[in-house]
Structure 1
Amino acid sequence: MLSTKLVCIALVSLAFGQVYLVASEETITLCPTNFTQVADKCLLVDGSWKNFYESDRHCRSLNAGLLSISNPTEFNVINEWLPIIAPYQPEFWTSGNKLGGTSDYYWQSTGQKAVYLPWSAGQPTTTAGDCLTLMANVTMTPEEAILSVHRLTVKPCTQWAPHICQAPLEIFKTQLCLNTTAFFEAKIPV
């Protein structure tokens, strides 16, 4: 009789424990260390001046790629974030380029054709180069320098500029796990 009760209690405990385990599952998204979540990306501004190739190599050393822009919403969020993180920096390398003899621009970090291209006034200038930077116009006042919204500009890939690395969000699932010895630690009144 006692052993039947004990088995029933154990089975009920395990059943409730499994239900609780499933009910407590949670998905968490985080950015890698030193990256900041901006829209659905993790971004890192590097203020050191490098050419396009060195910038790309630096981002890849961080398991990331240079910035790509896929839509107006993402572009606007990035432009709201840039004055906070780098208020006096007018230019950044992106992964956009038309290397390889193509007439279309591609995002090197994703391999996708660049469909959304928010150009600066007078751009693209095809004779200016093959790589894309985000460039803001600078207006000087007696008190300060004011940067406009960053937009895409064509530039020779061998010139220098700071850059923005992008990494994907890291997705984790958390679950509440049962203590495997809980059944044996339980004290059942007789």
Structure 2
Amino acid sequence: MLWKQFIGFAILGLTLAQLHSVNSQAAVTTCKSPFALVSDKCLLWHSKFLNWYEADRQCRSQGAQLVSVQNVSQLQAINKWMKASSPNTVEFWTSGNKLGNTQNLYFWESTGQQAKYLPWAKSQPKPKDGDCLMLYSEIKNGVVANEYLLSVRNCTAWSSIVCEQVPTKSVQRTCLMPNSFETVQVQQN
């Protein structure tokens, strides 16, 4: 019987010796609480109604900025997230604006870049309505449609806000220590 235990211990020792060189890696994308990971952004919806300037300040006080929309996949992810997290929200501020610009070009305050992707709501843009951009959803049969599109508003109007942060990207590694097999104990009868 002793030889069976010896063989079992030898196999276990060889297995553990091989495991010590195992190194697995996984890319991990996380958001600081209470932000939620939505597509490639960390988002947080605030129910406070603020003007654009106060909204921008609110986001910055949390180490974030007002949300921007760079492409259709981001907009789809935001639409899906808003439907799940805040289904009755009709509109919210974005970082988009044309403040100080007389050519009706819009820029994302969060990045300083010109807004190239501008998914306008029906009958928009109306530059005479203001200088700031919000994402707006129509109300159909008394229900928010949850298909948000851009709308021009006066920056002093009140609306809810969505802040965004850049997600934290890290690599999670699992390594077994070379001497971990030494802690294995085999009970003898």
TM tier relative to shorter chain: 0.7 to 0.9
* TM-score normalised by length of structure 2: 0.78
One-letter code of the match for 2:25?
E
Q: Are 2:155 and 1:146 equivalent residues in the alignment? A: no
Is 1:80 the counterpart of 2:80? The answer is yes
Structure 2 residue corresponding to 1:169, chosen from 167, 170, 183: 167
1:7-32, Cα deviation, whole Å (9 max, x unpaired): xxxxxx7x985x43xx2233211111
How many residues end up aligned between the 2 structures? 165
Q: Does residue 131 of structure 2 align to residue 134 of structure 1?
A: no
- Map Cα deviations across residues 9-68 of structure 1 (whole Å, 9 max, x no partner): xxxx7x985x43xx2233211111011111111111101001111111111111111110
Q: 1:56 and 2:56 equivalent?
A: yes
Look up the match of 2:67: 67
Deviations 1:78-101 (A, max 9, x none): 112212111111010000001122
User: How has the CA–CA distance of structure 1 residues 163 and 186 changed in structure 2, closer, same or farther, with 3 Å as cutoff?
Assistant: closer
CA RMSD of superposed structures (Å)? 2.2
Long gaps (5+) in structure 2: 1-16, 185-189
Distance in 2 of aligned mates of 1:39 and 1:102: 33
> Could you report, residue by residue, the CA deviation over 1:104-163 in whole angstroms, capped at 9, with x for unpaired residues?
1011111111011010111111111000011111133xxxx2122211110011111000
Three-state SS of the structure 2 residue aligned to 1:25 is strand
Aligned-residue identity in percent: 39
C-alpha contact (below 8 Å) 2:19/2:176 kept by paired residues: no
* Uncovered stretches (5+) of structure 1, i.e. residues with no partner: 1-12
